[in-house]
Amino acid sequence: MVLKSIPIIRNPHWILLNRNCLNLNKRYLASDAKSKSNDQTNISVDVSQKQKIYITDPISPGSIFFLPNGTKVFNKLVQFIKLQTTQLFGFKEVITPLIYKKSLWETSGHWQNYQDDMFQVAVNDESKEIYGLKPMNCPGHCVIYKRFDRSYNELPLRFADFSPLHRNEASGALSGLTRLRKFHQDDGHIFCTPEQVYQEIQNCLKLIDLCYTKIFKFTNTDESTTEPYFLKLSTRPEDHYIGDIKVWDHAETILKNVLEESGKNWELNPGDGAFYGPKIDIMVNDHNNKSHQVATIQLDFQLPERFDLKFKDKDNYYKRPIMIHRAAFGSVERFMSILLDSNNGNWPFWLNPKQVIILPINTKKEDHVNESFKLKNFLSNNNQTTDNDIQPIPLNSFHFEAHVDDRSEPLGYRIKDAILNKYSYLIIIGDEEVKTNKYSIRTYNDRNIEHLTSAEIFDKFKTLEENYK
């Protein structure tokens, strides 16, 4: 990156600041470049420690303690994918139990084919039946589907679920955010007619394209392709599968035809399908060119059969729906790990848990500090006047992560700290800002300065969030 010359600006404090911080920017950019080229295998852990994203503890192996910063990122990701799935693709969100009786898992086939990867739970009830923590949401969605009489008019019926899942992974396989025992998935299940399958799978691919080509553009280190992701068709396992081979062959043919007509590059991954059906796996590469599965689309003729799911068709005969399992992120935790690996902690504004920091030039001057907190409250959209008249925060309003650094440290020190903490924007408040109500604002990696009112800054941030920038 080429450092730009110091611009002519009205605030003399910024001239001094830019001169003093010139060497800081050079050292920071050189350090950043070195960090990006460093061949580490666990960038996400390193960034997490610096930015306080999450911790793990032996008291709960394979589970994540998300810290406040990590929780903000996690919630933004879930909020994003909820909006896309419900508003663009017609999913209805449901919330399902975490534990079910063994009899449900026997019906679904999990007990026979997935028991070793499940946590069993002893419950004090009269039946003494064993319960299992859910590793997947699909059986619960089948229970919801079956509870009501279904007509062809309701199909396709799409359920979305963000409940936590638990899988009893071997302790030696556990790794950071990528391999966990407790995780969240942007899970979705579609119940549809045979005629609707092709279009529904196409829609799933459109959602994946939206995520991985328009919003989350991962660094592609594979020089053989410019595609941000690649596809694998995973077929029937050699053992541990349910259903008839002819049905499996039919399902695999459907997925193969969809991939052929999509025009996207894909490869065959024999024997790696789920035990109930073949799947399309969406893969991305990390900085070491190691591939990771993120999204998945699975075609399932088995669970509707095992749960005896039906719908009344136009001819008044009951018929069997087909089930499609899909996730755009896959494990949200694993997706976060790949994001951390890709951006090295340089979050886009809309995801950054540290969006803007406000720095009063002289922390001993009351008007500098008061103006800083006034701007913070405005950007946070939290303008409560008195403790005795608290008003509810409106739904669907913008609230930016604004912080004030009013420590009794030199301004240059606080600027350096803000840059190293990768705040998206830095705002300086001095005499001129207090007088004119126009604030000097810059990004953490660009020394160019704008002078904006509080309303203009709010609108700028609003535009960034609305466009996922």
Three-state secondary structure readout of 425-456: EEEEECHHHHHHCCEEEEECCEEEEEEECHHH
| Same domain for 354 and 285 | no
| Same domain for 326 and 437 | no
Q: Considering Cα of 208, then 210, then 216, then 220, what sign does the dihedral take?
A: positive
Q: Apex CA 46: angle with CA 51 and CA 330, to 5°?
A: 85
Q: How many domains does the chain have?
A: 2
Give strand ranges (E) for 111-258: 120-121, 131-133, 157-161, 164-166, 182-192, 230-234
| Same domain for 308 and 363 | no
Collapse the DSSP code of 227 into the 3-class scheme (helix H, G, I; strand E, B; otherwise coil) and give the result: coil
pLDDT at 50 > cutoff 50: yes
Among 150, 181, 279, 334, the active-site one is: 279
Told to judge if 141 belongs to the known catalytic residues of this protein, a careful annotator would answer: no
Q: Does residue 463 lie in a domain region? A: yes
Give the per-residue pLDDT at 126: 77
Q: Which of 327, 343, 359 delimits the end of a domain?
A: 343
Give the per-residue pLDDT at 12: 44
Told to judge if 167 belongs to the known catalytic residues of this protein, a careful annotator would answer: yes
| Same domain for 232 and 103 | yes
Told to judge if 115 belongs to the known catalytic residues of this protein, a careful annotator would answer: no
Told to judge if 250 belongs to the known catalytic residues of this protein, a careful annotator would answer: no
Q: What is the spatial distance between Cα 77 and Cα 294, in angstroms, rounded to a whole number? A: 14
Whether 324 and 200 have beta carbons less than 8 Å apart is answered as yes
Give the per-residue pLDDT at 290: 81
pLDDT at 29 > cutoff 50: no
CATH number at residue 221: 3.30.930.10
**Percent of the chain at pLDDT exceeding 70:** 88
Among 138, 192, 204, 211, the active-site one is: 138
pLDDT at 17 > cutoff 50: no
Q: Does residue 33 lie in a domain region? A: no
Q: What is the spatial distance between Cα 405 and Cα 239, in angstroms, rounded to a whole number? A: 60
pLDDT band of 156, cuts 50, 70, 90: very high
Give the per-residue pLDDT at 244: 86
Name, in order, each residue with C-beta under 8 angstroms of 382's C-beta and a sequence gap of 6 or more: 393, 399
SS3 assignment for 156-174? CEEEEECCEEECCCCHHHC
| Same domain for 409 and 294 | no
pLDDT at 46 > cutoff 90: no
Q: What is the spatial distance between Cα 275 and Cα 358, in angstroms, rounded to a whole number? A: 54
Told to judge if 279 belongs to the known catalytic residues of this protein, a careful annotator would answer: yes
Give the per-residue pLDDT at 221: 58
| Same domain for 332 and 287 | yes
| Same domain for 63 and 193 | yes
| Same domain for 239 and 104 | yes
pLDDT at 9 > cutoff 60: no
Q: Which of 343, 359, 374 delimits the end of a domain?
A: 343
pLDDT at 140 > cutoff 60: yes
Give strand ranges (E) for 96-148: 99-101, 120-121, 131-133
pLDDT tens-digit series, residues 372-424: 999 999 999 876 655 677 888 888 889 999 999 999 999 999 999 999 999 99
Give the per-residue pLDDT at 342: 87
Q: Does residue 6 lie in a domain region? A: no
- Inter-CA distances, 394 with 327, 380, 397, 399, Å: 31, 13, 6, 10
Burial status of residue 270 (CB atoms within 10 A of its CB: 0-12, 13-18, 19 or more): exposed
pLDDT tens-digit series, residues 308-328: 999 999 999 999 999 999 999
pLDDT at 133 > cutoff 70: yes
Q: Does residue 295 lie in a domain region? A: yes
Among 232, 325, 403, 414, the active-site one is: 325
Q: Does residue 390 lie in a domain region? A: no
Mean per-residue pLDDT of the chain = 87
Q: Does residue 324 lie in a domain region? A: yes
Residue appearing with tokens 């403790």: 387
Name, in order, each residue with C-beta under 8 angstroms of 170's C-beta and a sequence gap of 6 or more: none
pLDDT at 280 > cutoff 90: yes
Q: Does residue 10 lie in a domain region? A: no
| Same domain for 371 and 231 | no
**Percent of the chain at pLDDT exceeding 90:** 67
Whether 231 and 281 have beta carbons less than 8 Å apart is answered as yes
| Same domain for 321 and 361 | no
Q: Which of 282, 315, 343 delimits the end of a domain?
A: 343
Whether 359 and 418 have beta carbons less than 8 Å apart is answered as yes
- Residue 60, Cβ neighbours under 10 Å: how many? 11
pLDDT at 3 > cutoff 50: no
| Same domain for 298 and 177 | yes
Told to judge if 166 belongs to the known catalytic residues of this protein, a careful annotator would answer: no
Give the per-residue pLDDT at 44: 78
Told to judge if 399 belongs to the known catalytic residues of this protein, a careful annotator would answer: no
Q: Does residue 26 lie in a domain region? A: no
Among 13, 110, 134, 167, the active-site one is: 167
pLDDT at 6 > cutoff 80: no
Burial status of residue 57 (CB atoms within 10 A of its CB: 0-12, 13-18, 19 or more): exposed
1-10, 18-27, 273-282: segment of lowest average pLDDT: 1-10
pLDDT tens-digit series, residues 55-102: 999 999 999 999 999 999 999 999 999 999 999 999 999 999 999 999
Q: Which domain holds residue 135?
A: 44-343
Among 51, 141, 150, 185, the active-site one is: 185
CATH number at residue 448: 3.40.50.800
| Mean pLDDT (whole number) for 431-451 | 94
| Same domain for 215 and 236 | yes
Give the per-residue pLDDT at 384: 62
- Name the DSSP class of 281: E
